Structure formats: C-alpha cells, structure tokens
Amino acid sequence: MVQTQPTLRGILPIVALMALLSATGVAVVGACAEPIRAIEQYPWLEDYFPYGFWMADGGIANKLAEALGEPYEARREKIMHDLSRHHVNALIPACRVVGPGYLNAAQRFGIRCATMPLYLYRHVDNAGNLKDKDLQWVKDQWSGHARQIKDHPALLAYHVFDEPHPTVSPKIQQITDLLTQVDPLHPAIYTHQNLPLDRDNPSWGAPEWSLLDSLNVVCSDMYSIGPEWGRDPWAYGDVGMAQFRRVDPDAVHWPIIQAFAFRAAPTIPEVRVMIFHTIACGAKGVLLFTTEQSYARWINGFYPSVGNPWFAEEPLWADISRIGRHLTSAGPLLMPRRLDPDYPVRVDTPNFRARVRTGWLREDGDLRRPAVHVGAFVGDDFDILVVHNDDPWQTRSGRVTVDGRGRCVYDLRTLRQVRTRISGDRVAFTVRFEPGDGRLYLVGDQADFAGARATVQRHLYQHESLQVGLDAGIAAKAGVEVGLVRERLHRAQLSAEAGSYGAALRLAGEARRLLGQAQVTHGSYARTAAALDAAREALHRIDDWCELHADFLSGGLGDHRLKALTGQATELARQFVALENGIRAGTLNLQQAEALRLRVETLADRFIAYRPRPLEPYHIALLQLGEATEDLRHLHDWLRMVYRRVEVLRADEEGGFVGESGNARGLQAYDLLWVHAGNPGGPVAATYCGRASVAADALSLKAKTAISRFTKAGGGLILSGFATALVDDLGYDSVAPNHLYWGPLAMPGGGQVRWDNFGKSGKVLGLKPTAPDHPVFEGLPAEGFAIWDWGLSEMVGRAVWQRPSRPTRGVVLAGYYSDGADIPDEFAVVVEYTPKGTGKVIAVGDCLDPKRDRAHSTGARWGTNQDRFIRNLVAYCAL
C-alpha cells in the first residue's frame, strides 16, 4: 500500500510521483544512511506530516446533526471540508468505527482517518482483565475490520485503546501484533498517557515498555495546560518526548498536545509553543483535542473548544490553520531525518523565566531558558532546523549560528534564501518571532533547496488545487460557470506532472481568482452565499454569547425571555443548516437566505442587548488603566447584567474622564468607581506565570486628585486585582501589597500548599473573613467560603499583603480560605479604608476575577459565591 495524494483528475500514487520527479530532474528528499524503521515499514510516511485532531468528529456529532434536523453524513461532510480548508490532513474520530464509506468521504477532502472501534476498550478493566468477551472475540473483530479497510488510501491507523492503564499493555500488545500481521502497511496505535516510564516497575513496567518499544509509531497525550501541569506549554517536549525517546529515539511520535478548555484553555501563543517546541524536541506529527464543530452550547454542550459549529472564522482557528499550512507542506522534510540533540548550533538570544509546577516529572519549577529554541533534524544531504520563540509572552529575536553544516540557509515558509553572515565554516542568521511562533529552515546548498522547495510547493499546490476543485464543484451545481476554473486547474496539473510545482501553484491561485469572479458574476449565487455567511457570523456571535453567559443560561440568573431567545436561535440554526446544505447541493433560495440573515442578525443583537429583570439601581463607573483589557470587558459585561448603568471610563490628560463614546463624564454622576486590573498589560508588567508589578504612573496626578475628591464627597471605590497596588498612590495606605503574582490559580502559603508547589489537598480557593459580621460577607459562611472552583491551571492576578508586610491604615476583612487545606494566617486579601469624611474604599487583591469565557479566556472558574460577594461589595460601597 502506498500513500496517495489528491489531484484534480484523481489519485496519483506517491511511488509514481517519486519516479516522475526523478525523471524530470527534480531532487527527491533524501534519507539518513540507516533508514528510519517507521518509514521502512510504512513508506507513505516519508512524504506525510500528520496535522489534525483527535475527536474532531466524535459520536457527539450525530447528536448535533439530529438536533439541527440534518443527516449526520451532511454534517460530517461539512466538518471534513472545513478541517481540510484549515490544512488538517489527519483525523482520529473518537469511538467511531471507520468503514469504507467514511474513508471515501475523508479521501475527497485529502484527509487520512484512523479507525477507533471499541472492541478492546469497552470490554477490559483497569486490571487488564476482559469482562464480558474473550480475547479471541476481540481479535476476530479487529482482524475482520482491518481486512475490510486495509487497502483504502485514506486510512491513517488502527487506534486500539485510549489512555489505558499500564496493566492493559499485554492485551494491547496482542492486538497490535495481530494488526501488523493483517495489515503491515498501516500502524496500529493507542494513546499512551502514563508517565514516567519505568521499565523496572514490578507491576507493569516491563510489558508497558515492551509495548512502546514494539511500535514504530507512538501516539500519546499530555495536556500541559491543565490542572495536572499548571501552565507548562514546554512539558510535552521537555518531559514527554524525553521519556518516549528513552524507549525508542527513532519512533515516529504523534503527540496530542492539548485539550482546549478541558479544564483549561490555552492562549494562542501557548498553542504555538506547544506545537513548535514539541516538534523541535522530536515529534513528527501534531494532533490537537478537539474542535467544537460537533456541538453548540445552547443545543448540546461539551468542551468549549477551538472552532465553532457554524465554521465561522476565529483567531485561534485561523492561527492553527496558518501553522498547518507551513507544517503540512514543509513538515514532510522532517520525516526521513533524525533529531540530533548534539547539533552544532548556538543561539544568541535573551533568556526568559517562567514558573511551572514542580514534582512528578519536573524537578525545578523555575524555568530559565533561551527565548529562541532550535531543534535540528539531520540527513545525509541537508538538515532541517525547527526554530521558534519559546516565550509565550513576548516577541523575541535571536542570532542562530551553525558550525560546519553548510553555508546557505533557506526559509521553508517564504521559500527564500536567508541573509547570513559567514565566518569560516560557521554561518549565522537572525530570526524574530511573535510570541510562541516559529518555522522550519533548511541548511544545505542550492541543489538541496531546489528539491526541498519542490516538495513544499507540491504540497501547497495539491492543497490549493483540491480546495479550488471542491469549491468549484459546489458552485457548478448551483449554475456557476466554472469552465475557465477547470481549465486553469488542468493546466496546473500538467505543470505538476512536469515537475513545475511553482507554476502549478501559481495556476491554482489563478483558478481561485477566476472562481471568485465567476461566483460574483452569478449574482444569485454570490448574494445567497453572502447572506448565509453573514448568518453564519451572527450564529457564531450567539454561540459566543451563550458561552460567556453560561451562568445566566443554566444557573438560574436568567428569565423566560432568555429561554425564548435560545429557542428562537435553535429554530433559526435549523433553517440555516437547511439552506446551507441546499446551496452545497445546488439549490439556491436567495429570498429565504436574505430573510434568514436579517432574522439571525436581529436575534444576535437581542442576545447582546439582553439584560435580566429587575436591575439593581446603582450607577457604576469602571476606570480603564491604559489600553482596554479582556478582564475589564468581562467585568463590565457581568455588572451590566445586574446593575442599571455601567460604563467604562478612562482618564484624559486634563484629569477628567471620558466614556467609551469620547464624551466627558463626571464621577459625581456615579454611585461607585471600580478600578480592576487582572491581566498584565498597560501599567501591569509580569513574567509568564510569575511575579507582577504595577507602574508608578498607572494613574496621573490629576486622575488621583479627581478620585480623591470623589471619595471625599461620599463616593464608593473598589480596587481589585492588581489595582489594589494603587492604595499608596491614592493616599489610603503607606504600604502597598508586597505579594504581586500573575499565573495559575493556586493556594498561596507555605508547606505543601505553596503556590509554586501546586499542592492537591485544597479543592477550592476563597476568602476567610476576619470580620464575619461585616456587610460584604452577608449571606456568606462566617468560617470561610469558596469564590473559585479549584483549577490549578487557571490564570489569575493577585496583589495582597503577606507578612511581615501589613496594611498600615486599613482594616483587614479577610484572608485566604480553602476547603480541605490549612492556609497560613499571613495574608491580607480584603482590606477596608474609611478615612474621616470619605466614602467607603475596599481593596480586594485576590479571589475576584470576572473572566468566565471558558473558550477564549484564561480566567478562573467562577465559583458559587462570586455573585453574592460582588453584589455585597457594590451594595456596601455604593451607599
């Protein structure tokens, strides 16, 4: 069996393609002197870098299709089409038996799929014993299934088990051995998750090690943004890959790098670090878990994740696609090469520092590492460098110097030679990357680059021609004239067959341009498609709103009007799906599409304008420090759902205040001024998962004077998060908080619950009143109460006093509380200031975080008492 590549006319086997390249004089990617065993066993891997998702199409997709009134096959086709558009070429659909029909669908979109029947998974316990079936039954099921699909060109692998207990290893070994006999050309894999790997463990060490050592392709997961790890996007590369390479350094590794919002959501730079750092440490493929294309929050919930059920674009999805374009085209150059940990490269770059969880597999939680990281893959002809910014926090530069490996360096994304400085056998070049970003470079000569460039251009051409062909096919069904498009694609294929992949790629681009012109010329098609795309964006806005306001949807804070809105959204979503499937089948209904667009956009506006009743009669001003931040937006969003008037203000140069519209605002028009800063940015500086500071000029002198006048006139003031550090600037205290930190939610203190030790004994984090009768604690347990659900990976900001530092003029109202753990009584978290003749001033340095958007935020989980505490604060300070 050989890998096949999609083209306009059909399928071109890679063996024939390699022969064609040789005949036309185009260099073929070379291999190491001793071939890598996985490529010897599975030759198609030499020209394929898997980039995709685990569970992008799982069983839950059937539920959404049913809820939306469409056949599952229609939803599956749209999911695969969108994945393909975003350069996804590998898919492991969770718990799904993948048969010939499924693989036929995947092949149309250039995707290879694994099959994951539960023949063993469902019938074995954690002791490794089969419960209701015998092993022969399991073997018969697997061998029969493999014989049915083993010759299909879209087959990726046989996925035998997900995250097994190590005691199941002998059973998995028997199944993978069997599948290797039935189909020696496709890997039998399982998702490994048990670390550390210990061959000497008396219970399971030897069989687990033996199983891993027997597999030339290893699939594994480690969710390094999550409760187990805190925020450690380097963990998979540093720890996981190092562990697996102990067993077999030449195995091809397909890591599943992250569970998006499976108890934690990574930032875009963290995703970049996880991808590039793990590859630089030896991975030869990337799988992510999972997309949100199979579910909608208000219809059938699951993990908030990347993507959305309407396939509207969003920043994280777009960035995954951007990276995928590079890796699926240049990544195949890594496949026949070996990672060289001792490669002669030096990087001159600043160091950065980050705090990560210690214990288990990390001995030191204080990471200090060069900002620019290089992983080197060597071959007999040329080398490939994976160069990236390891810092998820700042744009970084570095000077990369390679000693004795070649005099030319080529950028495999731009396909241009890099400007270098040569000194003897040394060649140096400079790189600069956005936070976490990176790319691949070739070190070799011009002939080496010519062959590598052909490989990259070939993959880019194949992807673009496939996408244009798919889109042209949909348009043609609706009557769009695509003759010129197909003519260009035909010419592009002829160029590709002649080995002129650059020309083929340009012709495919011309075909895309001609298709756009043809679609515009067919007015009803263009207008129908535009109306559906606008409706798609509006449904995405509704989905985002429902995700952000989950507590109002299901927590009893909404009312019958909100329930009615979600019912209307579901009905309009069904209409959207029907029209979307219609246009894909060639049926245009412009009038219905434009009517739907208006209705969905109007409904989205109604969601955004929704406010529950009755609203409490307070007028609140939120003071913006520097640039607008996400955490301030979230606080504004929650407060406006409860209070009559909430407005964001910023100080002008004259000491006055202006609203979002730019109009002047006087503080006397408000009952309460709230200053919150929960994230770094603007006047707040912080290391990644470490210490923070607030700039001395966070507030101008005139702004401070205006705030002082406001409180002296009886106005209330709340300082929260990092804004607590402003108490000395505003004259309320002579000692500012000394414990400023931005990073994973964890209990501060000593012993087993130090913040940098991430102790597991605590379940929640909150406040322990020192004055339990105070009005801000009304209705809350006097012995202490949770504010946040326990989530070690959730990012929070804190600015509190820790002994020996204490407030000098304020009254400490609360320290820290956690259910199940003792926290030292050395922190002042909530402090009240009541200078003579002023309004009430309260500083809340921690345990208050408004960020509740689980898909796009790094904020802590909003606990059961957060609502009550905020309402108490407002009611007390605004009187």
Query: pLDDT tens across 696-708, in order?
Result: 889 988 899 999 9
Residues of the chain with pLDDT under 50: 1-29, 750-761, 853-858
Give domain 616-877's CATH number out of 3.40.50.720, 3.40.50.880, 3.40.50.300, 3.30.160.20. Answer: 3.40.50.880
Cβ-Cβ contacts under 8 Å for 254 (sequence gap 6 or more): 50, 90, 189, 217, 218, 219, 220, 283, 284, 285, 286, 287
**Cα 142 from Cα 117, distance rounded (Å):** 8
Q: Are the CB atoms for 638 and 852 separated by under 8 Å?
A: yes
Kind plus residue range of the DSSP H or E element containing 854: none
Q: Are the CB atoms for 845 and 737 separated by under 8 Å?
A: yes
> Residue-wise over 775-799: b if at least 16 C-beta within 10 A, else e?
ebbeebeeebbbbbbbbbbbbbbbb
What burial class does residue 353 get, using C-beta atoms within 10 Å of its C-beta: 0-12 exposed, 13-18 middle, 19+ buried? middle
Q: What pLDDT score does 3 carry?
A: 31
Q: Are the CB atoms for 840 and 716 separated by under 8 Å?
A: yes
Where in the chain are the domains?
A: 31-339, 342-444, 523-609, 616-877
**Cα 445 from Cα 417, distance rounded (Å):** 10
Q: Are the CB atoms for 67 and 364 separated by under 8 Å?
A: no
Strands 811-817 and 830-833: antiparallel
Q: Are the CB atoms for 233 and 858 separated by under 8 Å?
A: no
Cβ-Cβ contacts under 8 Å for 260 (sequence gap 6 or more): 266, 288, 289, 290, 303, 304, 305, 306, 316, 855
**Cα 302 from Cα 159, distance rounded (Å):** 23
Q: Are the CB atoms for 878 and 653 separated by under 8 Å?
A: no
Amino acid 559 reads: D
Check for a shared fold between 342-444 and 616-877.
no
Token pair 């020309």 in the structure block, residue: 503
Report helix, strand and coil shares of the chain as percent, to nearest 5: 40, 25, 40
Q: What pLDDT score does 14 carry?
A: 31
Closest CA to 178 of 143, 151, 147: 143
CA-based angle 488:491:495, to the nearest 5? 135
Closest CA to 52 of 336, 436, 323, 414: 323
Q: What pLDDT score does 838 carry?
A: 79
Helix pair 446-477, 315-330: axis angle to 10 deg: 130
Cβ-Cβ contacts under 8 Å for 492 (sequence gap 6 or more): 8, 461, 465, 503, 504, 505, 507, 508, 511
CATH number of the 342-444 domain = 2.60.40
Helix pair 866-877, 630-640: axis angle to 10 deg: 80
| Partners of 220 in beta bridges | 192, 255
Q: What pLDDT score does 555 carry?
A: 66
CA-based angle 328:90:580, to the nearest 5? 100
Helices and strands: H and E segment counts in the chain: 22, 40
Q: Are the CB atoms for 161 and 121 separated by under 8 Å?
A: yes
Closest CA to 492 of 508, 512, 481: 508
The distance between the two most distant Cα atoms of the chain, rounded to a whole number of Å, is 91
Whats the size of the chain, residue-wise? 879
Q: Does domain 31-339 have CATH number 3.20.20.80?
A: yes
Q: Are the CB atoms for 758 and 230 separated by under 8 Å?
A: yes
pTM: 0.91
Q: What pLDDT score does 261 carry?
A: 59
> Residue-wise over 478-499: b if at least 16 C-beta within 10 A, else e?
bebebeebbebbebbbebbeeb
Cβ-Cβ contacts under 8 Å for 298 (sequence gap 6 or more): 542, 543, 546, 553, 566, 569, 570
